[in-house]
Amino acid sequence: MRTDLAASYGEERLPRYTSYPTAPHFSPAVGPDIYAEWLAGLPAGASASLYLHVPFCREMCWYCGCHTQIVRRDGLIAAYQRTLRSEIAQVSETIGRRIKVEHIHFGGGTPTIMAPEAFAELMAAMRHSFFVLPSAEIAVEIDPRTLTSEMVEAMRLSGVNRASLGVQSLDPVVQRAINRVQSYEQTASVVDRLHRAGINGINFDLIYGLPHQTVASCLDTVRRSLELGPDRFSVFGYAHVPDFKKHQRMINEAALPDGLARHDQACAIANALKEAGYVQIGLDHFARPDDAMAVAFEERTLRRNFQGYTTDRGEVLLGFGASAIGHLPQGYVQNQVQIGAYAQSIAAGRLATAKGYGLTDDDRLRADIIERIMCEFSADLGDICARHGAEPEAMLQSAARLKPLISDGIVRLDGDRLAVATDSRFLVRSVAAAFDAHLDPAKQLHSRAV
């Protein structure tokens, strides 16, 4: 990887392109009534994925960029779970039939903060309102510090088959600086308990660019994580946006690595995982060669949604819970962010949609191009444009940001086929941004490109 390019492009603030257009472009013009129309208009053979957002934690991790709040009283969590169940029934009734579900993902916050019996009831509610396929992937994000044996059993009985563990860093100095002290032993114990319960799909989430983090500490975290044998890794760069996430002000900015140091950390982690036999997938994922995600990458069927890279090929993602985002063929919708406002909407029998975005033909074309770039580091503009009734020449002419990328050797253009140079793949977001007609570089809404 080229450090000169990391210095030139690494400080740009760019989206991660888990959607296009990205969430800052959603507007209140898309509300509950429009969402209801979109749901009722889903094609007869449509299948869906479900995302459930549980916005509660026991303590705040200072690096966190999620919509979450700290709770001590379990009554609030129980009330929220009941609201989720009501929303699930409401959305299913609006669709008007029991559609197939191929993926379920619990995110947060800490989804396993729920009581085990509440989690089981929620899974039962989904199976009642939707036809959850026997082969469905059911994934849960886990904080290893708080997972109980009772919750592991509830997950087993509910059919959970994938767990995503927040590890971030195993360096005690870094952990104290981000208010997330989590021992190796805690993480190892959770992995062992999950395996014994038959939950064998294990993801680890790691972060680079944290305060006091070094290449050496990153490599030590990777080495010890590999001892536990997860089949997937997600490796994210820390996004320091204290103007939007006030708790990030607790982090000492002077202790944050600069762009080149972040670049070195990302390279070191990637190289260590590849040397251990993992396949690098897109921007920030790694998987064992026989894993479904690695197979999808090889077969060029990998997709990207709000959870990152996915094997989910469906066009319908239904989001449940405060701040949850959904994606339908017609566009995007997002629920009320504030838990109280979300709960009031559902209690009143209204969908909790606060804002969204109706896709245009140009949006769909650009979304396809951006997704292929993010998933494959390449895009056949001729093929994609032909499917959308567009001309690749016009698309290239509209991508003014592409010219310096070509001049700097980051992008190769062979006719209508675009490819990101192998040594520049860490700048894939910069390449995708060349096709983003909505991007405003003056607004610092996103994380660093590196």
Domain ranges (residues) in the chain:
16-358, 361-448
Per-residue confidence (pLDDT) for residue 308, from 0 to 100: 87
pLDDT in tens, 363-389: 999 999 999 999 999 999 999 999 999
Tell me which CATH homologous superfamily contains domain 16-358: tm_1862 like domain (3.80.30.20)
Distance CA 414, CA 429 (A): 20
pTM of the model: 0.93
Where does the pLDDT of residue 2 fall: very low under 50, low under 70, confident under 90, or very high at 90 and above?
Answer: low
Q: Indicate whether 444 pLDDT > 70.
A: no
- The per-residue pLDDT for 10 is 65
pLDDT in tens, 159-202: 999 999 999 999 999 999 999 999 999 999 999 999 999 999 99
First CA to last CA distance, the chain? 12
Burial of 389: CB neighbours in 10 Å, binned 0-12, 13-18, 19+: exposed
Average pLDDT over residues 287-294: 96
In contact, 357 and 30? CB cutoff 8 Å: yes
Local confidence band at 5 (pLDDT 50, 70, 90 cut-offs): confident
Residue 440 has pLDDT above 90, yes or no: no
Which residues, in sequence order, are CB contacts of 428 under 8 Å at separation 6+? 282, 283, 373, 374, 377, 420
CA distance readout (Å), 220 to 166, 190, 211, 343 = 16, 20, 16, 44
**pLDDT tens profile 139-167:** 999 999 999 999 999 999 999 999 999 99
Quote the distance between the C-alpha of residue 365 and its chain's center.
22
Q: How many CA atoms lie within 13 A of 314 on its CB side?
A: 22
Omega into 349 within 30° of 0, i.e. cis? no
CATH architecture entry for 361-448:
Orthogonal Bundle (1.10)
When pLDDT is cut at 50, 70 and 90, the band that residue 32 belongs to is very high
Other beta carbons less than 10 A from residue 293's beta carbon:
21
For 256, counting Cβ atoms within 10 Å of its Cβ (0-12 exposed, 13-18 middle, 19+ buried), the class is middle
Say if CB 366 and CB 436 are below 8 A apart.
Answer: yes
pLDDT at position 450, please? Answer: 55
Element holding 155 (H helix, E strand): helix 149-157
Adjacent-strand bridge partners of 50: 104, 318
